[in-house]
Each structure stands twice: as structure tokens, then as C-alpha cells.
Amino acid sequence: MELAAAIGLLSFIMLRLMNERRITRRRRQYRRLLALVNYLESGRPVAYCRLNYNVPILRLWFNAEAELRQEFRLSRRAMQGLQRLLKRDVEDHGWGSQLEVLIYVYWLAHGLSYRVVSSVFSVPRSTVHRIVNKVARHIQNNLKKVIHFPRAEDLDAVGEGFGLLAGHQVFNNAVGAIDGCHIRIKPPQLHRLDYLNYKGFYSINMQAICDAEGRFLDIFVGYPGSVHDTRILKNSPFYLAGQYPPTGYFLLGDGGYPCLDSPIAVITPYKEPVIGAVQGRFNFRHSRARSVVERSFGIMKTRWRSTLFKALEVRPAFAPLVIATCAFLHNVCLDNGDLLEPDADVAQDIFDPQAPREGLAHDERSGSATRDRLAALLIQEAH
């Protein structure tokens, strides 16, 4: 009898809880519906949730004199620039995009669960989940505002930057350095081994081209970690379209890429061990110029190390969006003078051994003759 009574009491309590949750959910839906009706009638958004301005993180944001880097990994100037880039003309609730951007950047900066972020900002966990997905997609839709190839009239300036990095004007026609970077993820159960890279961990590939300042000019994210850099290059939109670099210019790539003249120009170092001083001198200058892309990856991983230097705590399908937003924010920081140095452990992760080089396809023309000509110019001007 006591057991039956206990079961009956437990069932009664569970029914009460379910009813209370149902009522709470209905009230929330009613408030949202009412907000929508008010919006349609007035033409402006109406807040259906009240923001608690007394939580410490918001007091920090609204204190114009306070520095934000420790909490958000961005300077105040960079955060303000980001807010301007992502501002929307029409908001779908009273909080606006400003709070959404703060929540998203805070989530990236600390690699925290939605539950913890919801506690920090005193907003529902479901709201944090929705905002993270929403802002990531909004950034993806605005990616080309800050990640784009240079205009034709700016190409010579970009090339001069690589000439300065290399210490020789032979590299003045280089207008980008290309490389791939592995971002750790928790792999899906289906096709799990596709994500296991040659370094021995599960990852998603991020291919990037950057200029001599370390600014990303193009990114291509999403291939599983087992896919070779060359295959990713040959499936990149800019490669398939023959979009970049223009005729007369070239990209600098590491030894994992083929040395090409067409369909695009990619100049790689001579295979080690080199033969003679000519090849050695060329590889030295080439490395000085090309390594800027590895440095960019290192800076990006250092800034968002809580998210990127461990396995990403998101679905593999969503991971490319998160990685792309980190590249977007990297450029926003550079544009706003928010600079930092890559951490030593991050730099070591970037400089791990390369995958073996793949051969040329039937529709590709080798760039070996161009590389030999550039190497010869180095020696001629040295005497």
C-alpha cells in the first residue's frame, strides 16, 4: 500500500510539473504572438523579453571606458567595428543585434556551453542556442564585406608587400600565400574515419589565401581532415573559375601543393633536399614570404583558442560556419588595429609536418620553368 501511495503521489507531482511547463510555454508563445501583432500594427519591434542590464557582462559593455579584451578577446574598437558591420535595419525582437553579437563573441571567446553563457547574460538557454546559430549565419551572409580578393589597382601594392617579406623584388608578383589548416572537431559517427587527418586527430580543413599583412583574402572551409590540400585547392571556387591570381601574378604555396602555371599560378619551394645554392636561396626567400599565412592561422587560433585549440563542441555540419566566423573576426581585428602574437603552442601546432605532395593532373601545366626563372634572377641580382 505504501509503495502504491508513493507511486500515486509521484505521478500526481509529475502531472502538475508537466501542466506548469505547458502553461509556461503557452504564456511564452502568447507573448511572442502579441509582440508580432504589435510589430505588424506599429511597424516597429516590441520587446517580449526584458534584458537585465545589471549583470556584470552588460555593465562592462555599457561602460565606454572599460576594456573588453579579457572577456571578449576583442578590443572595444574592434567590437564596435563588428557591431557596425552586422547591424540590421530590421530587428525581430527588442534586444537587437547588439546583444546578439555580444553573446556570440563571448561564446567564441570562452568555448563555453550554452547553459553557462545563458547564466552570464541572464537570458534563456534556448535563446543563446538560437542566437549562436543566427549570428553565425548572418556573418556567413556578410563574409565578403571583409574577406575578398584585392582590386586590380591594389595588386602591385600587395605584391610589394610579399617582396618586402621575402627581402627581394623577385617576389613582387606574389599576390597571396595559400595553405590549409586543420581545426579539431568531435567527429560524427557516420563516416568517422573521413575526418581523421594525417596528423592523427579528427578535423575539418580550412584553406585560406592571405596577403602580406596576414589578412585573409579567401577562405574555403568544410572538407574532412583526411582530404589532401591539393584536392581541396582543385575544388575551390576561385580555382575552378580561374578567378585568382590574374595573369602575370602568382600565389605562394608550401611543398604539399603542385607547382603550377595553369589553370592558376602557384609557386612552391624546391623539393628537399635541394640541389645547389640556387635552389637553397630560392627556398629561403620563398619561406620568408609564404610563412605569413601560417602566422595568420596561428593568430586566429590564439585569439579563439578556447574554441579552436580543442575539439569544437558543435555539430560537424555547423563547424564550418563557426570556423568561417573566426576568419571573419580575424580580418575585423586587423582592420581595427587589434593585433596580437600567436602563442608558442599554437604556432607549433601550425608548423607540423606537411602531407606528401601530389602530382599534376592532365589539364594542369607545371610551373617549374617559372620557378627556375625566378631562382635564376635571385642569383643574378646577388652578384
The C-alpha atoms of residue 224 and residue 187 are separated, in whole angstroms, by 9
End-to-end, the C-alpha distance of the chain in Å comes to: 104
**pLDDT at position 119, please?**
92
**pLDDT at position 190, please?**
86
Model confidence, pTM: 0.84
**pLDDT at position 379, please?**
77
**pLDDT at position 96, please?**
75
If phi > 0 it is left, if psi is from -120 to 50 it is alpha, else beta; for residue 349 that is alpha
Per-run averaged pLDDT (10 residues), the chain, 383 residues: 62 67 59 50 49 84 92 96 84 70 95 90 91 95 97 97 96 97 91 92 96 98 95 95 95 95 96 92 96 96 91 90 97 96 74 63 88 90 55
**pLDDT at position 365, please?**
92
**pLDDT at position 36, please?**
46
The C-alpha atoms of residue 373 and residue 356 are separated, in whole angstroms, by 25
Distances (CA, A) of 355 to 121, 197, 231, 371: 44, 10, 12, 21
Q: Could you tell me the residue ranges of all domains in the chain?
A: 1-44, 47-145, 152-381
The C-alpha atoms of residue 258 and residue 251 are separated, in whole angstroms, by 12
The C-alpha atoms of residue 365 and residue 362 are separated, in whole angstroms, by 8
